Amino acid sequence: MNASELRAKSAEELNQEMVELLRAQFGLRMQISTQQSNKVDQLGKVRKDIARVRTIMSEKARQA
């Protein structure tokens, strides 16, 4: 997911994307803590995606 794709989305779609990413982050944290998964790098990618979505959301809020 890149920033240009996110900028094309509406505020509601960005909120939905944020909810999905936060659920994915929680699931990965639980899997890593219970040693069901070794995909530690995935957690970093999800965190960066969350930061991208939050940045785009704040940009849209400033424009409005």
- pLDDT in single tens digits along all 64 residues of the chain: 789 999 999 999 999 999 999 999 999 999 999 999 888 899 999 999 999 999 999 999 999 8
Q: Tell me the C-alpha to C-alpha distance, in Å, between residue 3 and each of 14, 22, 40, 42, 57.
A: 12, 18, 23, 19, 11
Q: 24: which residues sit within 8 A by CB, 6+ positions away?
A: 46
User: Domain range spanning residue 52?
Assistant: 3-63
Q: Tell me the C-alpha to C-alpha distance, in Å, between residue 45 and each of 12, 48, 61.
A: 22, 5, 24
For residue 16, the domain's CATH number is 1.10.287
How much is the pLDDT for 37?
A: 86
- Domains: count for the chain: 1
- pTM for this entry: 0.91
User: Which amino acid belongs to residue 11?
Assistant: A
How much is the pLDDT for 42?
A: 95
